[in-house]
């Protein structure tokens, strides 16, 4: 496989063929053959949770970079290209380096046995070992205990708000899901957690106690400074959590004004981005589960139109119930009814107008205020259009 495009096609096939593989049972042998690169990484901060992982990771990276440190990040999903998942100081891994690491990974095990996430995780271990940033932030892909990233040995574990999501894999109760997320807690390694429900907090504290580690519960800020580009109300918790982690990681080198400056400029696509086109207001937010829709509802927006795309793995009915009462029309994105909730499904749960739209190169009309939300994959597909609004 000599071309970057061939590697990308292989990854896409792995995603379709293997889907999600929530297990570490296959990792031991290939890690050993690769020289156990997960054990020789620069200092790692490991982030899990249901919502806010991406924002918290972005805030942590921004604050560390503002202090003069280079920061690697491993995140998902990507917007345009797989390379975006593996970055140093916001710059994606190069095509040549991606292909070099990819070849080293796939030679250790038949390609048909890998999932997309497993391949990328191993690839990231090789890249960060060679590149040696000062810090690396690893974001879990799913859950925590059996997530492919959970072989790392972090300097700190971070847990964002936990709610119901991926219940088909992680468990049908909040207790089960919290227990899976708590699986990133390591013996003696400090853990920082957002405020959680009492039920979740009790589980996290129990796991932390069993691992003889200190757990710090971080309260959200009362307000987030107006100058912050990521200024939604729900970012108060993510920003506070990130600031606490960086303060601990840097110790006496931490400078509050420097951290604030870095975090003020942080931005991530699909986290309450807003534009005004004349009198029209557009809000883009990847609230892809019930927890996210509740947080979005608390922003007190009043859209009349919603563009929505949701995967069938999500409970869309519960999410739609959280939409503001001002919404009169849903425009549904459903390119594949086997993976996406269909227009018929939404017509069965929504009393207002429901339209179908799948051509993301042609934007449908909308009223005075538009909300675009749902799956991050849907949000990602629209980014090229919104890039033109910033030009």
Range 190-212 average pLDDT: 97
Q: How much is the pTM?
A: 0.93
Mean local confidence (pLDDT), 157-163: 95
pLDDT at 40: 98
Structure tokens at 209: 């106690």
Mean pLDDT for the stretch of residues 16-22: 61
Delimit the domains of the chain by residue range: 4-264, 273-389
240, with CB counted inside 10 A (0-12, 13-18, 19+), is buried
Q: Is the pLDDT of residue 27 over 80?
A: yes
How do residues 132-141 score in pLDDT, each as one tens digit?
999 999 999 9
Q: Exposed (0-12), middle (13-18) or buried (19+): which is 171, by Cβ within 10 Å? A: middle
Please give the pLDDT value at position 103.
86
Tell how many helices (H) and how many strands (E) occur in the chain.
14, 14
What confidence score (pLDDT) does residue 363 get? 84
Query: Higher-confidence residue: 245 or 102?
Result: 245
Nearest to 47 by CA among 37, 39, 57: 57
CATH of 4-264 among 3.30.930.10, 3.90.1150.10, 3.40.1190.10, 3.40.50.10540: 3.40.1190.10
By the 8 A CB rule, do 330 and 344 touch?
A: no
Q: Are 382 and 282 in contact (CB under 8 A)?
A: no
Q: Which CATH class is domain 273-389?
A: alpha beta
Residue 61 confidence (pLDDT) above 80: yes
Residue 143, φ and ψ in degrees, nearest 5: 65, -125
Percent of the chain with pLDDT over 90: 71
Write the pLDDT tens digit of every residue in 253-262. 999 999 999 9
Looking at residue 2, its pLDDT comes to 56
Q: How confident is the model at residue 323 (pLDDT cuts 50, 70, 90)?
A: very high
User: Which stretches of the chain are assigned E, i.e. beta strand?
Assistant: 44-48, 71-74, 86-88, 91-92, 135-139, 156-159, 191-194, 215-218, 273-277, 280-285, 305-309, 329-332, 353-356, 369-374
* Mean per-residue pLDDT over the chain, rounded: 91
Note the pLDDT of residue 109. 67
Query: Of 173, 180, 172, 99, which Cα lies nearest the Cα of 142?
Result: 180
pLDDT over 90 at 111, yes or no: no
| DSSP for 211-280, written as a single string | TT--EEEEPPPS---TT-SS--TTHHHHHHHHHHHHHHHHGGG--HHHHHHHHHT---TTSSEEEEETTE
pLDDT band at 110 (very low <50, low <70, confident <90, very high): low
Please indicate whether residue 24 or residue 156 has the higher confidence score (pLDDT).
156
Task: Determine the straight-line distance between the first and last CA of the chain, rounded to whole angstroms.
Answer: 37
Residues in the chain: 391
**What is the per-residue pLDDT across 164-184, written as a single tens digit (0 to 9) for each?**
877 778 888 999 999 999 999
Q: What is the pLDDT of residue 210?
A: 97
Q: What distance in Å separates the CA atoms of residue 7 and residue 95, rounded to the nearest whole number? A: 10
Give the pLDDT band (50/70/90) at residue 80: confident
pLDDT above 70 covers a percentage of the chain that reads 95
282-302 burial, b for 16+ CB within 10 Å, e for fewer? bbbbbbbbbbbbbbbeebebe
Confidence of residue 17 (pLDDT cuts 50, 70, 90): low
265 pLDDT exceeds 90?
A: yes
Q: Which residues contact 103 (CB under 8 A, 6 or more apart)?
A: 1
The percent helix, strand, coil of the chain (3-state, each to 5) is 45, 15, 40
Kindly state the DSSP code that residue 391 receives in the 8-state scheme: -
Residue that wins the pLDDT comparison between 58 and 7: 58
pLDDT exceeds cutoff 60 at 1: no
């Amino acid at each position: 496989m000599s071309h970057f495009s061939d590697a990308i096609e292989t990854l896409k096939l792995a995603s379709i063929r293997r889907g999600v593989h929530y297990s570490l049972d296959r990792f031991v042998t290939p890690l050993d053959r690769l020289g156990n690169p997960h054990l020789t990484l620069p200092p790692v901060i490991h982030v899990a949770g249901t919502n806010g992982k991406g924002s918290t990771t972005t805030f942590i990276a921004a604050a560390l970079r503002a202090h003069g440190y280079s920061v690697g990040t491993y995140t998902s999903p990507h917007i345009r290209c797989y390379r975006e998942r593996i970055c140093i100081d916001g710059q994606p891994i190069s095509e040549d380096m991606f292909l070099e690491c990819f070849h080293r990974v796939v030679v250790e095990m038949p390609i048909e046995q890998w999932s997309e996430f497993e391949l990328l995780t191993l690839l990231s271990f090789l890249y960060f070992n060679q590149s040696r940033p000062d810090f690396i932030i690893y974001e879990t892909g799913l859950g925590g205990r059996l997530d492919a990233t959970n072989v790392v040995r972090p300097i700190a574990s971070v847990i964002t708000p936990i709610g119901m999501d991926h219940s088909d894999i992680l468990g049908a109760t909040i207790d089960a899901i919290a227990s899976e997320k708590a699986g990133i807690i390591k013996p003696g390694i400090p853990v920082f957690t957002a405020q959680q429900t009492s039920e979740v907090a009790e589980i996290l504290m129990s796991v932390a106690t069993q691992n003889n580690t200190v757990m710090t519960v971080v309260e959200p800020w009362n307000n987030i400074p107006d100058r912050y580009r990521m200024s939604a109300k729900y970012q108060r918790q993510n920003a506070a959590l990130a600031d606490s982690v960086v303060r601990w990681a840097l110790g006496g080198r931490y400078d509050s004004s420097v951290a604030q400056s870095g975090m003020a400029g942080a931005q991530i696509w699909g986290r309450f981005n807003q534009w005004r086109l004349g009198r029209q207001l557009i809000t883009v937010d990847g609230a892809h589960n019930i927890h996210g829709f509740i947080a979005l509802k608390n922003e007190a927006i009043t859209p009349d139109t919603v563009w929505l795309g949701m995967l069938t793995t999500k409970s869309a009915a519960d999410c739609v119930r959280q939409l503001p009462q001002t919404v009169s029309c849903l425009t549904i994105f459903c390119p594949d009814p086997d993976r996406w909730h269909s227009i018929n499904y939404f017509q069965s749960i929504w009393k207002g107008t429901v339209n179908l739209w799948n051509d993301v190169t042609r934007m449908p009309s909308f009223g005075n205020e538009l909300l675009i939300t749902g799956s991050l994959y849907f949000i990602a597909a629209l980014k090229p259009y919104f890039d033109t609004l910033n030009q």
